[in-house]
């Protein structure tokens, strides 16, 4: 059984309800058990700035799935909740589910890089992870607490 962490984000529609539904759908996915959910926080957009603020959080799961299969489950949930890939990169979205960490291992496959390549520089992702587990290690980078301290 692997422990994985999923970033949650939304900035269109009823953001809180969408993220609540995303967690429910993740918990209902075969081979996935939700073991922790951070609080949600409002954050400024990154990359593409001309868009509404985001609501962000994170979920800890235990899973029997491999990293690629978990990513596919996340993409299915995004589609089910109305996510499209149209518009600018980093643009507005109804929901965004990112596989941030997977069982303290590094994965580099076509379409999947874990830890998430920009995790160490994104406060909106690190803060909810620190809430779930401040000693959580980002492989090759340090603990989420250390990474947050470096952003100050």
Residues annotated as catalytic (active site), given as ranges: 83, 93, 96, 98
Buried-exposed string 25-61: b where 16+ CB fall within 10 A, e elsewhere: bbeebeebebeebbebeebebeeeeebeebbbbbbbb
Q: 39 Cβ partners below 8 Å, 6+ apart? A: 57, 128, 131
Residue 138: exposure state from Cβ atoms within 10 A (0-12, 13-18, ≥19): buried
Distance from C-alpha of 2 to C-alpha of 17, rounded to nearest angstrom:
28
Distance from C-alpha of 132 to C-alpha of 143, rounded to nearest angstrom:
12
């Amino acid at each position: 059984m692997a422990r994985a962490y999923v970033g949650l984000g939304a900035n269109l529609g009823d953001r809180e309800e969408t993220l609540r539904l995303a967690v429910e759908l993740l918990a209902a996915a075969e081979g996935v058990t939700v073991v922790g959910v951070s609080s949600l926080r409002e954050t400024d957009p990154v990359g593409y700035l001309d868009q509404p603020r985001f609501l962000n959080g994170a979920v800890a799961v235990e899973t029997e799935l491999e990293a690629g299969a978990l990513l596919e489950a996340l993409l299915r949930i995004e589609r089910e909740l109305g996510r499209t890939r149209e518009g600018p990169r980093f643009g507005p979205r109804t929901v965004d589910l990112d596989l941030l960490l997977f069982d303290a291992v590094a994965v580099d496959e076509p379409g999947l890089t874990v830890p998430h390549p920009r995790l160490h520089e994104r406060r909106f992702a690190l803060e909810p992870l620190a809430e779930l587990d401040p000693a959580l290690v980002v492989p090759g980078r340090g603990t989420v607490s250390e990474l947050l301290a470096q952003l100050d």
